[in-house]
Amino acid sequence: IIVAEFHKKIKEAFEVFDHESNNTVDVREIGTIIRSLGCCPTEGELHDLIAEVEEEEPTGYIRFEKFLPVMTEILLERRYRPIPEDVLLRAFEVLDSAKRGFLTKDELIKYMTEEDGVSLCRLGW
C-alpha cells in the first residue's frame, strides 16, 4: 500500500513538469520534482541521482519509467530528509549571538559566503 501511495505521489509530481504529456521531463526540473516530494538532496547528491536516471546517451530529458523506481527507493529509504527544525533553530541561535530574533541581510550574506568555514564550524557542520 505504501509503495502504491508513493507511486501515485511521484507520478503526480512528475506530470506537473511533463509539458508534452509524453512521460518525460526536462532534466533541469528533476531537483524541483524531488524537493516537491519532501526530499532535500545536496547539489552533489542531485547530480548523482540525475546520472542514475539519465539515458546512456543524455538527451536532456528524464523518462518516467527510469525515474519511478529510483524515486520510490529514495522515499522508502527516507533518504535526503530535510534538516529537523530544532537543528535549524539551534543553528540560527548560534548565528544570532545578539539574541535579536533575526539576522540582517549583511549578516546572512557574510555567514553564507565566508570561505574560512568559521560559520559552519560554529554550527557544528
C-alpha cell at 120: 559552519
DSSP assignment letter at 41 = -
15-60 pLDDT tens trace:
999 999 999 999 999 999 999 999 989 889 999 999 999 988 889 9
56-110 pLDDT tens trace:
888 999 999 999 999 999 999 988 887 788 888 888 888 888 899 998 888 888 8
3-state secondary structure 72-122: HHHHHHCCCCCCCHHHHHHHHHHHCCCCCCCCCHHHHHHHHHCCCCHHHHH
User: CB neighbours of 114 closer than 8 A, spacing ≥ 6?
Assistant: none
Q: Can you identify the CATH homologous superfamily of domain 1-77? A: EF-hand (1.10.238.10)
Helix (H/G/I), strand (E/B), else coil: 51: helix
pLDDT at 57: 87
Sign of CA dihedral 111, 115, 121, 125: positive
pLDDT(125) > 80: no
pLDDT at 58: 84
pLDDT at 117: 46
Domain ranges of the chain: 1-77, 85-122
